[in-house]
Each structure stands twice: as structure tokens, then as C-alpha cells.
Homo-oligomer: A and B are copies of this chain.
Amino acid sequence: MQAAILTFDGLTVLDAIGPYEVMRSVPGWEVRFVAPEAGEQRADSGSLGLVADHSLEEVGQPDIVLVPGGPGNRALLDDERVLGWLQASDRHTRWTTSVCTGSLVLGAAGLLDGKRATSHWLYLGRLVEFGAEPVRERVVVDGKTVTAAGVSAGIDMALRLVALEAGDEVAQAVQLAIEYDPQPPFEAGSPDAAPPEIVSVVRGAAARDDDWLRRASEAG
């Protein structure tokens, strides 16, 4: 099993690294980091780089494609080379997947048309622009298209994928190997669970940081 994780300048690193750590723990699975140009891609924070060893053209026909989120992926929404690579890859994948706002890139490639899909809760409504049906669930499986909610949801998605492909016992072994026994200190991980004032704070901070989200908020 070959997985290809798309990277780019301005990615949210945990979106990519959560599923990477799960998938690379499966015996026989290989995870490759790809980018339009191989080499260092800067995180959205600016404070570290991820090195993608492969350009898009080098990875052949991956069995799994994963698109992470991050402000840097706005530039991919009209990047014909990346969208063309996703379309071509999707014809051969077993699973075409995204984490967080990575689903918007799948949408821009026309791969979510008529499908149920999810995204980071702040951006979920934008999926309708791509003909998708937004679903507020942590992991949404529609045929071979699998989308995850924000950032940390990629861990749960990848464990689901491993279970679907390699069976429950392998997925359980991976979960134990990465000691994924989450104990979040608060009930605040989703807009339904978090106190309303916390939801407002995050919504406001995101809109201030993100021109794209602010325009959408002002428009909507």
C-alpha cells in the first residue's frame, strides 16, 4: 500500500502528521510526502519545515491520496497542476482523502460533487460551493472518498482507513503502538461541545487571521 500526502507552503502540520504516523505504522505500508516541487515546505506557523521527498509526478499511482489543510492550500484551489494531479490520481486510488480544509481542495478538483463530506467546522459550509453535502461528523466515508474534520481528526480517519484495508486487529495494534488513548482535559473539541463564548472567541480570531474567512463571514 502506497500513500501520498500532499504538502505545500502554509500547511497545518498536524493535519498531515497525524495520519502519517498511523499509516506508516502498518507493516507493508509506505507513506510518501509529495509537493508540486520536492523539498522543504514551510508550516503555516512559519516555525518549521517539512521535507517532501517527491514531486507530484514521481509518485506514480498511489493507493491512498491525502490532502491536508492549512491557509496555504487556498493557493491550490485554482492550481491546475495540483488539481490535475488529484483528478488523475483519483482514477486509480483505493481511497482519496482529506483532513481539515484539505476537503476544499478535493472539492475544487471536482472530486466531491454530489458526495457527503466534512471539513474543519469553521469552513464546513463552503463545501456546498463544490457540490458536496456538508456533514458535521468527525470522519465521513462516501464510497472511496474519505474526509475528516479539523486538524486532529486525521488520526481517527487514518485508523478507520487502516481498519477498512488491513482489518480491525491491525488498526488496534497501531492504536496501541501510538498509545492513542486520548484524554482531552476539556469538553471543548467541537463547536457543539465547547462553551458558546469559546466558540465565539475562536470564530473571531480565525476571521481576523484569515481574509478568506472574513470575507465569507461578511458576505454571509
Contact = CB atoms under 8 A, between A and B. Distances in A.
Interface in A164-215: 168-169, 171-173, 175-186, 188-191, 193-195, 197-199, 201-202, 205-206
A201 B188 contact: no
Interface stretch (A80-88, A106-114, A125-133, A144-152): A144-152
Contact of A21 (B14, B139, B149, B175): B14
A199 B184 CA distance: 24
A48 B33 contact: yes
Contact of A20 (B13, B150, B159, B197): B13
A190 B180 CA distance: 7
Contact of A156 (B20, B156, B185, B205): B185
A185 B181 CA distance: 11
Given A152-B155, A186-B168, A194-B176, A31 B45 contact: yes
A65 to B, nearest CB: 15
Interface residues of A, number: 68
A51 to B, nearest CB: 3
A63 interface: no
Contact of A182 (B100, B184, B191, B205): B184
Nearest to A12: B21
B193 A181 contact: yes
Interface of A: 12-14, 17-18, 20-21, 24, 27, 30-33, 40, 45, 47-53, 100, 120-121, 138-139, 149-153, 155-156, 159-160, 163, 168-169, 171-173, 175-186, 188-191, 193-195, 197-199, 201-202, 205-206
